[in-house]
Chain A
Amino acid sequence: MSYKNFETSSPLVACYNSTSQSTTGVFDKIMSIDSSLFSGEISGGDTITLDYKAALMGDIYGQTNNSLGFWSSFHLNGTRQYQGLDVCSGISTASFKAPEQFFTNSDVNDQIESEWRVHPLAGSGTSIYITAGYPRLTGILLK
């Protein structure tokens, strides 16, 4: 008989996707995550679960060919959390970068996913490219 505690689990969370990912079209998508350095189990190629509550931060980096909106956010058990700030609107070069940071507090055994969303008026030819290493989800376990 044993109790789980931080003696056997690092309080650090650092998850990311090691390869680039891309798609074309206007739809919401759960991003792939394939690497976890400390705490966290990955299932299905995109879902993280943690044994403890956690304060998490996520961000992404990449490009799109459309200047309309692009957002990203966490999902907890399939429910979208507050999304990051759209920085694409009106930018002719249409790169999305730093302000795409998003935060959440997750609970024990929440199914945690990272999602991107594209503005519905962006057009079917909209391409999305996420740089290798992103999304990155990092944080600290809480007790």
Chain B
Amino acid sequence: MSYKNLTPYVTRVVEVYLSSDQSITSNNATLVNFDSIRGDSGHGVSLVSGGNGRIRLSGDNHYYIRGITALDKDSSSAFFYARWYNTSGTQLNESDGAFKSYPTLTWAGLNYIESMYNQLIVNPTSDTDYDLKIDGETGSLKADGTFLQIIEMSKT
């Protein structure tokens, strides 16, 4: 007979964000250039050096990530999306724990639009890099409305 010991997870909160607005000049998938990070001491999230916003999550941790991308669009009618990719450029989907965003309503005459949440819910077995990309519209990705809120759960 054996007992499994209870091992509560250590929970840390991390935020990844833009320090300034990012110009989106192409309708094609464009990497969100996250350049700032802050969080609880000891967290395992980092921005890859020279990665232009690429995010690295530490292996064996559990991550619940919710993100917002706020795009001041050049058009009032086009949709834009925020989607997760791996480093090979392959889009990740729901079965990978990656949930893309759709835009909110386009109000007549206003180009400001805020997407609903994108989400990345993963338990990487080793350190793994992820890219968040915008597609479908050009404009200005707003620093004051674009960020990732990350809850990290680890055993140490």
**A binding-site residues for B, Cβ under 8 Å:** 1-3, 5-8, 10-14, 16, 18, 35, 37-38, 57, 59, 61, 87, 91, 93, 95, 97-99, 101, 131, 133, 136, 138-140, 143
B105 touches A12 (CB 8 A): no
Given A91-B105, A101-B116, are A11 and B94 also a contact pair (CB < 8 Å)? no
Looking at the complex, which one of B1, B100, B151 makes contact with A140 (CB distance below 8 Å)? Answer: B151
In the complex, B95 has a CB within 8 A of chain A: yes
Main secondary structure of the interface of A (DSSP, over half): loop
> Which residues of A have CB within 8 Å of B95?
18, 35, 37
In the complex, B62 has a CB within 8 A of chain A: yes
A6 touches B7 (CB 8 A): yes
Q: Number of contact residues on B: which range applies? A: 20 to 34
CB within 8 Å: A-B pair count: 96
Q: How far is the CA of A87 from the CA of B105 in the complex (A)?
A: 8
Q: What residue in chain B is nearest A37 (Cβ atoms)?
A: B97
Over the window 97-136 of chain B, the binary record of Cβ atoms lying under 8 Å from chain A Cβ atoms (1 yes, 0 no) is: 1011011111000000011110101110000000000000
